[in-house]
Amino acid sequence: MRDLSNDRALLSINAATVRQRWGLGEIIDGCARRQIGGIAPWRDQIAAYGLDKTARHIRDAGLTVTGVCRGGMFPAADAAGLKANIEDNLRAIDEAVTLGAECLVLVVGGMPEGSKDIAGARRQVEDGIAAVLEYARTNDMPLAIEPLHPMYAADRACVNTLGQALDMCERLGQGEGKSVGVAVDVYHVWWDPDLQAQIARAGEQGRLLAFHVCDWLVPTTDMLLDRGMMGDGIIDIPAIRGWVEDAGFEGLCEVEIFSAENWWKRDPEEVLDVCIERHQTAV
Amino acid sequence: MRDLSNDRALLSINAATVRQRWGLGEIIDGCARRQIGGIAPWRDQIAAYGLDKTARHIRDAGLTVTGVCRGGMFPAADAAGLKANIEDNLRAIDEAVTLGAECLVLVVGGMPEGSKDIAGARRQVEDGIAAVLEYARTNDMPLAIEPLHPMYAADRACVNTLGQALDMCERLGQGEGKSVGVAVDVYHVWWDPDLQAQIARAGEQGRLLAFHVCDWLVPTTDMLLDRGMMGDGIIDIPAIRGWVEDAGFEGLCEVEIFSAENWWKRDPEEVLDVCIERHQTAV
């Protein structure tokens, strides 16, 4: 495994982690001041700061863009909704290209309002990715399907295991490797009994596009906004990083923490310092 | 599929559903008054009401005991803890036998305090079941491993998919069928892309021991105590019941709802009436 004990270059900060008190420009500066290697901005942050300004600022700061959050959200109740979602994904690809991102992260979406048809939602997701895949390929922007924890299956993402995501990649990608792959977030997949094997499979296929870290707290008091800092929970993050690196992943470790009652309330300067320390000791 | 539209005989009430305002004796009477077919009591309720008294009352009321909740909770931080947990499961088997239950439901347990080793916890679970299985067989009490939703993997049950539970059954049961099987609760497994295939596998092996219903609400406001009444959420319960019945299940549909802010606050008389109505229309 790579030695992170003095590393900052392999650390990336997902900009959601400090979004409550800093705008995107401040986040970029905060990372750059600390020689943090990468950043992953959200589209609403990019829109607020300005796409070209964001691209220039990140480039000048020397940061790798480990992903743009997010494309996806494909399912819809009708044809107009499906079409609008596809168009939005095409715009997301353009933005990711402008930023020189390593991938566009896809949070694929759950079931449309009123639906109980998760299999149908999954077909809509696959059809949606298929509809934008050629555009992504042409623009050299890998699409990273992020399997989300099954507790988000209804309303956020109906792709819920790495195996399921890779099955989808295989059907979509026809062996063309990284044009469609996966983002592995320990928060979403740590519990999966098949995780090690599926990470190896992703690596063999060249589909490991991103690696996200945070921690699962016990107890977890909110299903969305109570993620823990690495080391504060029960995920064996080094074990999973080992599997990911054994599978050939050479990218950055992206810290993505939604924490309404703890980390989002703290001074972002402190949060970034803790991210660095935990990246070096608990990832 | 079986026609439930006028049925009460195939309905079972898990006694947690109305536990806040009724003792076990009242719950038994409330079910019997309505010609509900079955009940699934919890061990603390049984202890409070008295084991022999519970057995007699349920027998006199003509109710099927679709399961006793619960055995399991095998993992521990040390040998003494593991031993104590095994002994507790032997007592649970005795109680289930006294009640003439169709199975003892196993909520297998999560990781011991301070542990990050989910694979180790899973080995402890399998070893624990192995340690009590012969006693269960001798006493003709099937053990039903209940895979719990992955959001409980850390602290309640590290068996989180039906496939994982069946793998464990196969290693434990050596083809001896129902001595160890599974409880399928739609709340825990509805999201699983492999669900239909794993239900079929469970049926082929004679391991479908129990079928639990409630619903997944959107949004879900509490990870433990915000389950919905059948029909109020997004699970396609009839589809899953169809798979279960296609796989040969002939048992009762057990309603198990933990709902601190809604159903637990209502009059149990009303709750049971709604359970009957939803059993007939939404299951």
* pLDDT, tens digit, 9 for 90 and up, residues B237-247: 999 999 999 99
* Mean pLDDT along residues A37-43: 98
Give the pLDDT confidence score for residue A212 in this predicted structure.
98
Confidence of residue A138 (pLDDT cuts 50, 70, 90): very high
- Residues pairing with A11 in the sheet: A253
- Residues pairing with A208 in the sheet: A182
| Chain B contact for A151 (CB, 8 A cutoff) | yes
Q: Which of A113, A169, A223 to mutate to test the interface with B (most CBs of B within 10 A)?
A: A223
b (16+ CB within 10 A) / e for B159-195: bbbbbbbbbbbeebbeeeebbbbbbbbbbbbbbbbeb
Contact B116 A192 (CB under 8 A): no
- Nearest CA of chain B to the CA of A158: how many Å? 8
Tell me which H or E stretch contains A212.
strand A208-213
Strand order in the sheet with B208-213: B64-65, B38-40, B11-14, B253-255, B208-213, B180-185, B143-145, B104-107, B68-72
Percent of chain B with pLDDT over 70: 98
Predicted TM-score (pTM) of the model is 0.97
Tell me which H or E stretch contains B143.
strand B143-145
Q: State the burial class of residue A172 (Cβ atoms within 10 Å of its Cβ: 0-12, 13-18, 19+).
A: middle
Query: Taking CA atoms, what residue in A is nearest to B153?
Result: A191
Pairing of strands A11-14, A253-255: parallel
| Chain B contact for A190 (CB, 8 A cutoff) | yes
Q: Which of A234, A235, A241, A283 to mutate to test the interface with B (most CBs of B within 10 A)?
A: A234
- Evaluate if residue B176 carries a pLDDT over 60: no
- Nearest CA of chain A to the CA of B282: how many Å? 12
| Chain A contact for B235 (CB, 8 A cutoff) | yes
| Chain A contact for B191 (CB, 8 A cutoff) | yes
3-state secondary structure of A21: coil
| Chain A contact for B89 (CB, 8 A cutoff) | no
- Evaluate if residue A174 carries a pLDDT over 70: no
- Tell me how far apart the alpha carbons of residues B275 and B18 are, in angstroms, rounded to a whole number: 11
Pairing of strands B253-255, A253-255: unpaired
Confidence of residue B266 (pLDDT cuts 50, 70, 90): very high
Contact A191 B111 (CB under 8 A): no
CB contacts, 8 Å: A283 with chain B: none
- Evaluate if residue A230 carries a pLDDT over 60: yes
What is the residue-averaged pLDDT of chain A? Answer: 97
Residues 6+ apart with CB under 8 A from A91: none
| Chain A contact for B121 (CB, 8 A cutoff) | no
| Chain A contact for B224 (CB, 8 A cutoff) | no
- Tell me how far apart the alpha carbons of residues A14 and B91 are, in angstroms, rounded to a whole number: 50
- Nearest CA of chain A to the CA of B239: how many Å? 10
Q: Which of A151, A156, A215, A225 to mutate to test the interface with B (most CBs of B within 10 A)?
A: A151
Contact B190 A149 (CB under 8 A): no
- Nearest CA of chain B to the CA of A192: how many Å? 8
3-state secondary structure of B27: helix
What is the residue-averaged pLDDT of chain B? Answer: 97
- Tell me how far apart the alpha carbons of residues A169 and A179 are, in angstroms, rounded to a whole number: 9
Contact B192 A149 (CB under 8 A): no
Residue type, A179: S
Nearest CB to B218: which of A149, A155, A192? A155
- Evaluate if residue B162 carries a pLDDT over 80: yes
Give the pLDDT confidence score for residue B173 in this predicted structure.
79
Contact B118 A190 (CB under 8 A): yes
| Chain B contact for A216 (CB, 8 A cutoff) | yes
Q: What is the pLDDT of residues B1-51, one digit of tens each?
A: 999 999 999 999 999 999 999 999 999 999 999 999 999 999 999 999 999
- Tell me how far apart the alpha carbons of residues B103 and B91 are, in angstroms, rounded to a whole number: 14
Nearest CB to A223: which of B150, B160, B220? B220
Give the pLDDT confidence score for residue A175 in this predicted structure.
53
Contact A122 B193 (CB under 8 A): yes
Q: What is the pLDDT of residues A242-277, one digit of tens each?
A: 999 999 999 999 999 999 999 999 999 999 999 999
CB contacts, 8 Å: B116 with chain A: 234-236
Nearest CB to A150: which of B115, B149, B234? B149
Q: What is the pLDDT of residues A87-122, one digit of tens each?
A: 999 999 999 999 999 999 999 999 999 999 999 999
Query: Taking CA atoms, what residue in B is nearest to A193?
Result: B164
